[in-house]
Amino acid sequence: MNYSTQMDAARKGIVTKEMEIVAKEEYMDINILMERVANGSIAIPANKNHKSLSPKGVGQGLSTKINVNLGISKDCPDIEPELEKVKKAIEMKAEAIMDLSSFGKTEEFRKRLVEMSSAMIGTVPIYDAVGFYDKELKDITAKEFLDVVRKHAIDGVDFMTIHAGINKETAEVFKRNKRLTNIVSRGGSLMYAWMQLNNAENPFFEYYDELLDICAEYDVTLSLGDALRPGSINDASDACQIKELITLGELTKRAWEKNVQIIIEGPGHMAIDEIQANMLLQKRLCHNAPFYVLGPIVTDVAPGYDHITSAIGGAIAATYGADFLCYVTPAEHLRLPNLEDMKEGIIASRIAAHAADIAKKIPKAREWDNKMSKARADIDWETMFNLSMDEEKARRYRKESMPENEDTCTMCGKMCAMRTMNKIMAGEDLNILREA
């Protein structure tokens, strides 16, 4: 039987190879997985032209996935350092990589990225449009925006962020409700600017059906961008954000009618006590579609440490419904992240995702922790290293400060609680001051 997308296949009762892989990795019954792909609560972003992809599922009952942002810009146009980041991100088990390139050899970078990456690839076509056409934003036509989307689809991109929710109606709500930080989404600000400069409707909203046809042809998952996401905790949960979310829910149903898979993008900056309610509201308004969050960053005053502020919010968000975390690095709000920034951002996001998976009782999540606890009780250093989320750092820290006794560390020495209990419970003598 023929099918256009993973959703179309699921609705026809066809088990694709991508579904088989996801079901096996996630310890989920294939029939449950297929039912959730069919109803849109799980998406499997898998462009037909992405041949190196190791498919992953995003959504209800699956482990929380993380995304890494990369790409070249006018100030940092060199492709090779970004490709080194790609290799490291894949090695560190990031499930998705978003190419946010906005200047220079964007097509070359995107094609090389898709060719080498086993992780799913996302893009934001509006970033690429200005450089692709070598035109000012105002002069790009609606058709040209759609042509860039098609180009990215042909190149093998698995999911695309499209800011279709900021239409004329949503823009009026924004104008009436003053914000501290206005529009902080790069793509959202560009689209809003285009609409104002041309006194025209958002082309991705006006020609949404044509956009869906492109996505269906290549099985591109549409990641509906939150142009009005809060960029400060002051602006969270306001009328602008909620109005756009309602629109995204309506666009979700229209996409599903054409068998196009959907992911909804969310906040943003948000105080801790608002996160749970926002996750529940998104799931309700967007019909349980997978939810993808940037953070949320829970305080605005920690530049240089936003990987931490983001991980705090991400863990809470994923516990209460978010399915996909976009990493944030220490360089957020300051500069393009370097390789070390990226590594710190990945680990912070993976910690948040795993902590939430334990809370969500994702199969095998707690088992990893139990194995680590057993290795610590046994003072089995090699097993501890092998189980570490960042094995290299764990080994380095141990090596940098070696203890006198192998069965201790330099924190406690022979007063190590694990060592003490192991000896006493085994009926052995305890030597803390003596050498023997």
Q: Point out the annotated binding site for [4Fe-4S] cluster.
A: 409, 412, 416
The three-state DSSP-derived secondary structure of 342-394 is HHHHHHHHHHHHHHHHHHCCCCCHHHHHHHHHHHHHCCCHHHHHHHCCCHHHH
Residue 110's CB is within 10 A of a number of other CB atoms, namely 22
Is-contact 122 158, C-beta < 8 A?
A: yes
Q: Which helix (H) or strand (E) holds 60?
A: none
Asked if the peptide bond before residue 77 counts as cis, ω within 30 degrees of 0, the response is: no
Amino acid (one-letter) located at 246: I
Pair of tokens at residue 291: 């939810």
Distance CA 160, CA 153 (A): 9
Place of tokens 């006198």: 404
Evaluate the CA torsion angle 280, 286, 289, 290 in order and state its sign: negative
Q: How many helices (H) and strands (E) does the chain have?
A: 19, 10
Distance CA 282, CA 246 (A): 9
Q: Angle formed by the axes of helices 186-198 and 125-133, to 10°?
A: 60
Count CA atoms within 13 Å of residue 310 on its CB side. Answer: 30
Is-contact 54 20, C-beta < 8 A?
A: no
| Annotated binding-site members for substrate | 69, 98, 127, 163, 185-187, 226-229, 265, 292
| Annotated binding-site members for Zn(2+) | 269, 333
Place of tokens 């959907």: 262
| Annotated binding-site members | 69, 98, 127, 163, 185-187, 226-229, 265, 269, 292, 333, 409, 412, 416
Beta partners for 265? 292
Cβ neighbourhood burial of 271 (10 Å; 0-12, 13-18, 19+): middle
Q: At residue 97, what are phi and psi to the nearest 5 degrees?
A: -130, 125
CB-based contacts of 112: which residues, under 8 Å, 6+ apart?
79, 83
CA distances from 284 to 236, 306, 343, 425 (A): 18, 29, 34, 53
Pair of tokens at residue 278: 């926002």
Cβ neighbourhood burial of 299 (10 Å; 0-12, 13-18, 19+): middle
